[in-house]
Amino acid sequence: MTNQAIGFSNPKPDEFQSGALITNENREIVYANTYFSDELNWTLKKLLGQSSDVLFTISSKIFCESYLMPLLIHEKKCEEMQLTLFDGNGKRVPVIVSAKMDEKSCIYWSFFNASKRDKLYEELIDARKELEAQAKTLKLMASTDELTGLMNRRELNLRAPEVINQAKRYTHNIALLMIDIDHFKKINDAHGHLEGDRVLKALGQKLLKFGRQTDLIARFGGEEFIMLLPDTNTSNAKIFARRLHQLTSGIEVNHAPVTVSIGITMTDGSHSLDDLTNQADGALYEAKKNGRNKTEFYKET
């Protein structure tokens, strides 16, 4: 079969927007339509008589040998395989290939340029990546206190039950500390809201640095913070609170140290977060009542 073997006179045989190729039983090209010259920059004369291998990239050749050819031999046809061709200038062109094999092992190939389709895939992948990044940012925003960067109350509510359950399971104690800046309103009133914000941020940073990785450290409300310390007994919690008082005094407003009051409650995992925060709140109230800059433990009545 030669190029002339498929001789049309009218209408024009070669106005297809796809490549058509025929290879013989030795896989030599015996026909290529003008798509190969017009769109893929091949010289048709050069192509004729060549092995079809000249068209395919190495990975496409491997795919042809290992999958496409066995399929053609067995099924006599294959549809919509994604391969990569070289054009006449050696540029890679993604194509969708369908092929049919006749009883003399001639193969009738059709190639559809898939560059635009690939571009669309790339754009879809980019769009997906962007959406994933946005979702991640939104998740972070929903779980984080904007001012201090600590987890917010919502996130604490989500994560605390697991920590409390683990204490129960492994028979550990947990300490919950409610930490409240003393006379914070005065700082705001005397030095402005921005100064108040600076103090909140500084305390947030100190708590983060001071806490362990397993601690939950959250901004609970205005000037109130919560630390949930797993695997901590009463005497450890006392030492921890003492160091927290020292640490906080390192933050100064107009050369005066900032102080905090702390309410602590302990549990073996048999209390809910709500129970614990109510208990710690009661202890915090006692600390404020007793003069501030103090730690009090919740006492069961």
Ligand X SMILES: Nc1nc2c(ncn2[C@@H]2O[C@H](COP(=O)(O)OP(=O)(O)OP(=O)(O)O)[C@@H](O)[C@H]2O)c(=O)[nH]1
Query: Which residue ranges make up the site for ligand X (CB under 6 A)?
Result: 147, 180-185, 188, 193, 196-197, 200, 222-223, 288, 292
| Residue 192 CB contacts under 8 Å (≥ 6 apart), including other chains | none
CB 294 → ligand X: shortest distance, Å? 11
CB 248 → ligand X: shortest distance, Å? 13
Read off φ and ψ for residue 3, nearest 5 degrees.
-60, -35
CB 274 → ligand X: shortest distance, Å? 21
Which residue number places its CB atom closest to ligand X?
Answer: 196
Residue closer to ligand X (CB basis): 190 or 239: 190
Residue closer to ligand X (CB basis): 22 or 181: 181
Task: Tell me the sheet residues that pair with 99.
Answer: 78, 109
CB 162 → ligand X: shortest distance, Å? 28
Residues labelled as active-site residues: 223
Is there a cis peptide before residue 11, judged by omega within 30 degrees of 0? yes
Residue closer to ligand X (CB basis): 29 or 178: 178
User: Own/partner pairs for 93-101, CB < 8 Å, 24+ apart?
Assistant: 93/40, 94/118, 95/19, 97/68, 99/68, 99/72, 100/72, 100/76, 101/72, 101/73, 101/76, 101/77
DSSP string, 39-63: TT---HHHHTTSBGGGGB-HHHHHH
Residue closer to ligand X (CB basis): 18 or 259: 259
What span, in angstroms and rounded, lies between the C-alpha atoms of 200 and 112? 63
What is the token pair recorded at 20? 């058509």
